[in-house]
Amino acid sequence: MSDSASPDDDGDEPAPGLRKIIHVDMDAFYASVEQRDDPSLRGKPVAVGGDGLRGVLTTCSYEARRFGCRSAMPSVTAKRLCPDLIFRRPRFDVYSAISRQVREIFLDYTPLVEPLSLDEAFLDVTDDDRGIGSATRIAELIRQRIRDETGLTASAGVSYNKFLAKLASDQNKPDGICVIRPGEGARFVAGLPVRRFFGIGPRGAEKMAGLGIETGAELAARDIDWLRRHFGSQADYLYRAARGIDLRRVKANRARKSLGTERTFDKDISSGSALREVLERIIALSWERIAKAKAQGRTVTLKLKHADFTQLTRARSLARPVATRDEFSAIGHALLDEVLPLAQPVRLMGLTLSQLEGEEAEPSGPPVGGTAQLPLL
């Protein structure tokens, strides 16, 4: 039912005792870094990504968002909406260095930090190791230090579980904070459009609208049996989310699911020899990342996206981890050979290694649970 990432779930039992959770989200992170480092860009619409015919926005500044530009939008569409849009190529080495700097700030307040990406993370500050007194004050101190030490702004959500904290961090962006206290979760969720729920993308929201559900309150009015008939394995998550319930832990040192590379071509490719040549470059980039991370995995997956945006994947799993670059390469080429010749041209190719060592299977959402005694924030 979802056309975006599913809500994560670590599968653990609920953490005992009371919890205070902060979700910190950097504001338009990549674009803000570009504006910080080039003062001439400040106050102007900026996009990070490729500006060619096949380019896609990785992110864009708030000035660009006022024109309707957004992440994952084709660059040609963004330029049509905002003719003055300024493009900058991503500098992931810079973004990664700043992300590490911000993470060190987090770790000054709690060891329980769960990064979701370079620009956002959950923090469990229940134990209040520094005796600051409240999660809200900790969030404010973190936001101030990020501003002082990086020259960037971050928004924060503070609540008694991860689901609500993430919703709250988006509530007063940019450079804002929102606190959802115990007893307020269900009421807060009731007034939100369901498209704001993590895991519900545009198509999922469209399906819900067709069933008469556009707000959290309308979702909460449906019983679990009705939700299971219409949404299958997502039903339990939706039932809990509509009531502001989420008993997942903040999980530090979160395991990576896969490593690899994908590339969008400037022009569609249909030739087998050309695709094999591109695959060699993707293999080299992917294995460099795998080796750097010292990762070991058992499944190699080839991903192809056609000119009409339909997607084709092929995967092969071993009983043991893939041992060498040559073995990784051989599997990748064998997977490509399985689908050649192609019925239509390809616009994107990717190759990943997954089922990494230490990875555990995860259910589709947090387990259904009751309420618990919750701390004041």
Catalytic residues: 120
Write out the E strands in the chain: 21-26, 46-49, 57-60, 86-88, 113-117, 120-124, 154-159, 177-179, 258-269, 297-306, 311-317, 346-356
Tell the burial category of 206 from Cβ atoms under 10 Å away from its Cβ (0-12, 13-18, 19+).
Answer: exposed
Residue numbers in the known binding site for Mg(2+) are 25, 119
Q: In this structure, which amino acid lies at residue 104?
A: E
Q: Is 25 helix (H, G, I), strand (E, B) or coil?
A: strand
172 C-beta neighbours (distance < 10 Å), count: 13
Kindly list the distances between the CA atom of residue 235 and the CA atoms of 11, 289, 369, in Å, as whole numbers in the listed order. Answer: 17, 36, 14
Kindly list the distances between the CA atom of residue 329 and the CA atoms of 120, 163, 281, 322, in Å, as whole numbers in the listed order. Answer: 33, 40, 10, 10
Residue 344 and residue 133: Cα distance in Å, rounded? Answer: 61
Residue numbers in the known binding site are 25, 119
